[in-house]
Amino acid sequence: MRASLRHRSGGTPVKHAFAGHGASRGLALGRARVRLPHVLEIGEQHVPAAKVEAEAARLQAALEAARAEMRALREKLQGALSKEAVEFIDLHALLLDDPDLVNALDTLIRQERYSASYALRVQRDRLAAVFEQMDDPYLKSRLDDLDHIIGRINAHLHRRDALPRGTAGEVLVCDNVAPSELAQLQAQGVVAVVSAGGSPLSHSAILARSLHLPLVVGAAEALAHTNDGDVVMVDGETGEVVVDPDAADLRRYHQREQQDARERRDLERLRSKPTRTRDGIDIALYANAESREDVARAHTLGAAGVGLFRTEFLFLQRNELPDEDEQFQVYRDAVLGMSGRPVTFRTLDLGADKADRTGLALENEDNPALGVRGVRLSLLYDRVFDTQLRAIIRAAAYGPVRVLVPMVSCREEVLLVRRRLHRAVAVVRRRGVAVEAPPLGAMIEVPAAAIGVYGLVDAVDFMSIGTNDLVQYLLAVDRNNDALGDLYSPLHPGVLRLLAHVIGAGEQSDTPVAVCGEMASDPRLAPLLLALGLREFSLHPSGLLELRRTIRECRHQDLRGRANKLLQARDRNAIERWLAAVD
């Protein structure tokens, strides 16, 4: 039944509770803003021959307005966005320039004399049919991106806002939400999001957690039974969505509000505290960053350094490659911002899944997740790579720097990079800058590199385990595919045994090992990683204090003593029981 039928005589609201999956913690109360699934319900429309040029011009104006919207969003929110949001904004911007979309729309208007709106529907349906026939789940999932772009263009055609305006204090209830719009929604005042689709491990969920925006996914019943204006209470931890909450629910909400406020005050007191377990073991918390704002926040929150500085944002959304001086200034500012604490620059991590406008990344790869990306792309374009290495090395004159290479799969790649690194050092020295070769590390995110880690440890100075990609590759599960959401989990016995293998290799060879990605940023998993021997975490600055609090409550020796039982677990349930038994 619809929400409008949920009332007793006299108009008294009747409470209804719906279960979803908590994806980003937090409790929110607001009025519902329902956004139904994007469908272009447009019948066949033609325009007179005399108006074809005007209709084509109207479409071009809508396309340019959508492009300008994406550019403005990226520029405005760069400092606040995590990697995932930037990637999706850039992907949507690239789709707006895709000839398969733009040229086909123009042809439909000029040759078939379709209205711009009907041309949008026809071409959307054509491209959707192609996506649906694809076997690759990653490429098939790009249909959602196409629909978001079509929605933006159509909104500008009819001078409507693609995203709701005046949403302060509202809960968005929708079919799905793109990472590229989450920060914008929060800026407009949306207090929580409830979606029928999605996964707690999707890019949208990762960004929502970075923004501290409560998110519940998989709540199809809530979408079906909620109307605009209904009062909605959202629990982003349990996944509960309550429509028309009663007095008991409201008391619970206010109690949680007070509890959350106390927790925030307690966390603030940890800014200057050491990250040390109850039995005196120091743990290093590094921050992930991509901007000066991220670096400044990491410094303020007492991060041990920057464990992963994403350099690819300099290469995206532009028509020319950044030169050495431009890169150097960004890298130097990051080093100065950490005031003597090390900054780890991950070299260019581009690929067809986040291609740039310069044409550097290859387009139209059959399987971009397994294509020319990361270190493979850098070694393919040696001049671009050498330029980046020189810029990083010049920045090393201002403070401690490390170089981290993504997507490493074999020892040979590391040796090639080290030779290029030493060659770049020699060039910078000849310019009169006194620098030494910075430590070189490898991202362990390819299963082959993790399994063969003993062949890598003597070729690197440190390692960083990229758990997001490692879990995805190891389990052969796309974490953005809703149909496979239950299969994608870091709490898989094979994942934990592989992590223990890599961490153990680092321990035996005295090679520092960090973990980055969602596993590092989830404080609930910290006891598990400590039990496996991890001493270094790298995560978004927003999660530093909460993770520090969790670690300070752990007893390292006790956790290490329980590692064998953890590694003997046969399934996810056994691992979750192990976590539940941690004091």
CATH 3.20.20.60 intervals, the chain: 271-580
Answer for the pair 418, 371: CB distance below 8 angstroms, yes or no. no
| 248 touches 17 (CB < 8 A) | no
Q: Is pLDDT of 39 > 80?
A: no
454-496: per-residue pLDDT in tens?
A: 999 999 999 999 998 999 899 988 766 666 667 778 999 999 9
Average pLDDT over residues 516-521: 90
pLDDT, residue 75, reads 61
Q: What is the pTM of this model?
A: 0.71
Q: Would the pLDDT of 277 be above 90?
A: yes
- Secondary structure of 157-178 as H, E, C letters: HCCCCCCCCCCCCEEEEECCCC
Cβ burial, residue 33 (10 Å; 0-12/13-18/19+)? buried
Q: State the Cα–Cα distance between residues 385 and 537, nearest whole angstrom.
A: 27
More confident residue, 184 or 317: 184
- Mean per-residue pLDDT of the chain: 85
Q: Does domain 1-268 have CATH number 1.10.274.10?
A: yes
Distance CA 207, CA 180 (A): 9
The C-alpha atoms of residue 486 and residue 491 are separated, in whole angstroms, by 11
- Which has more confidence, 348 or 14? 348
Residue 76 pLDDT grade (very low, low, confident, very high; cuts 50, 70, 90)? low
Strand, helix or coil for residue 194 = strand
Give me the CATH topology for the region 271-580: TIM Barrel (3.20.20)
Q: How many Å apart are CA 339 and CA 480, to the nearest integer?
A: 38
Q: At 195, is the secondary structure helix, strand, or coil?
A: strand
pLDDT band at residue 364 under the 50/70/90 scheme = low
Please state the rounded mean pLDDT for residues 82-87.
54
Give yes or no for residue 258 having a pLDDT over 50: yes
Q: Token pair for residue 551? A: 């670690």
What is the DSSP track for 211-275? HT--EEES-HHHHHT--TT-EEEEETTT-EEEES--HHHHHHHHHHHHHHHHHHHHHHTTTTS--
pLDDT digits (tens, 9 = 90+) for 522-548: 999 999 999 999 999 999 898 999 999
Catalytic residue among 16, 21, 148, 203: 203
pLDDT band at 95 (very low <50, low <70, confident <90, very high): confident
**Rounded mean pLDDT, 492-510:** 97
Of all residues in the chain, the percent with pLDDT exceeding 90 is 50
**What is the pLDDT confidence band of residue 79, given thresholds at 50, 70 and 90?**
very low
Is the pLDDT at 170 greater than 70? The verdict is yes
Active-site residue identified among 16, 516, 554, 556: 516
- Flag whether pLDDT at 255 surpasses 60: yes
Amino acid at 244: D
What percent of the chain stands above pLDDT 70? 83
Tell me where in the chain the CATH 1.10.274.10 domain(s) lie: 1-268
Q: What is the pLDDT of residues 127-155, one digit of tens each?
A: 777 766 766 555 555 666 777 777 778 77
pLDDT, position 475: 92
**Catalytic residue list contains 203:** yes
